Amino acid sequence: MTDIDPKSDIEVHAVDEQVIVRVPLAGPVTGEWLRRYQRLARATGVPVQAQARPDRTWLVVSVPAEGNQREVAATMDAARALIAEADAGERGPAAAQAESIVRDWWARRQESAPRRPVSKVEVAHTGIGTEKPWPLVGALAVAIAVPLLLPARFSVGPSWIVPAVVALLLAAIVVADRARDDRRPVAVRVLSLALVVVLVAEAAGVTARLIIDLVEGGPETNSATDLLSVGFGVWLYTILAFASLYWVLDGRGPDARLWTPPEYPDLAFPEQLNPVVTVPGWRPQFFDYLYLGFTNATAFSPTDVMPLARWAKATMTLQAAGSLAILGLVIARAVNILQ
């Protein structure tokens, strides 16, 4: 049975606007097999050639240098799929059918296997799993603005204290992330945890202040418009705080999720439970955790992301309970005012 040699490495080099990938094969290869493989490649339009050398046989695949991850992966998969078809020509129909079943079984096993670590070469070439900064920066910008828009009594001290601390920590994270020494991951991790602590503490404070005002009758509870605007601001802030918490704690943080993904995730996204629905090497990014925070705050329970770790279950329970209290009390009070 001919297949890719898992013990050998591939060779990659650029030629003009193409990237040439040489993939080593394992197993016996005959001249008839090479001719059959070439006929299949021409018939299917797959840009691949089988080259026999004295030491081994190679598949030489040509992919466009400007191709995206999906296109390149599809070309490589098509080149490998032709191996089984070329092998099938040398066997009887029954053997070919049994081999096809075995290959399908093995493919499903590989898809359900734990995510392997991504090499730095893969990240540099494909951008697999790398974080896009704009969702995080945008969310933190909103988190800085919300406390400034809430009534002053919602802050223990001056209303600008927490936004200033968040801004300073964000700036420190950006500076630390640009460092190129061995301490960078530790520094970024510590600063990220500190940022999350500040956000969650502020979210707990403003939520408690709002609930007390709703129960005892605060100034903003006399107007439906003021109450709804303040309630929405507090609810939005809790979503941002918990999204940041999920993002930092899941799988030991974004760096660990990228380079050394855990065998069993703390939060199981649909793309992890069923890898065939997404591109290879998928990793959750901040926007995915922001979506998790929003759906948990509106449904008061998990939707498509399942908490597996106990800390994740406890955190989602706490967020759902807080969101239920905010929305339930605010809406009930607003309706009572309007009547």
Kindly list the domain boundaries of the chain, sorted by start residue: 3-113, 130-338
Q: What pLDDT is stored for residue 128 in this prediction?
A: 52
Under CATH, what is the fold of the domain 3-113?
Yope Regulator; Chain: A, (3.30.1460)
Q: How confident is the model at residue 320 (pLDDT cuts 50, 70, 90)?
A: very high
Enumerate residues 6+ apart whose C-beta is below 8 A from 134.
none
Token pair recorded at residue 275: 């890898």
Q: What pLDDT is stored for residue 114 in this prediction?
A: 47
Q: Please report, to the nearest 10 degrees, the dihedral formed by the alpha carbons of residues 36, 40, 46, 51 taken in order.
A: 0
Residue 255 CB neighbour total at 10 angstroms: 16
Residue 151: is its pLDDT beyond 70?
yes
Mean pLDDT over 232-241 rounds to 95
Tell me how far apart the alpha carbons of residues 36 and 51 are, in angstroms, rounded to a whole number. Answer: 13
Mean pLDDT over 201-215 rounds to 91
Under a CB-based contact definition with an 8 Å cutoff, are residues 207 and 319 in contact? no
Q: Which residue has the higher pLDDT, 43 or 97?
A: 43
Under a CB-based contact definition with an 8 Å cutoff, are residues 20 and 13 in contact? yes
Mean pLDDT over 209-219 rounds to 86
What counts of helices (H) and strands (E) characterise the chain?
12, 7
Three-state secondary structure string covering 135-200: HHHHHHHHHHHHHHHCCHHHCCCCCCHHHHHHHHHHHHHHHHHHCCCCCHHHHHHHHHHHHHHHHH
Tell me how far apart the alpha carbons of residues 53 and 51 are, in angstroms, rounded to a whole number. Answer: 7
Residue 98: is its pLDDT beyond 90?
no
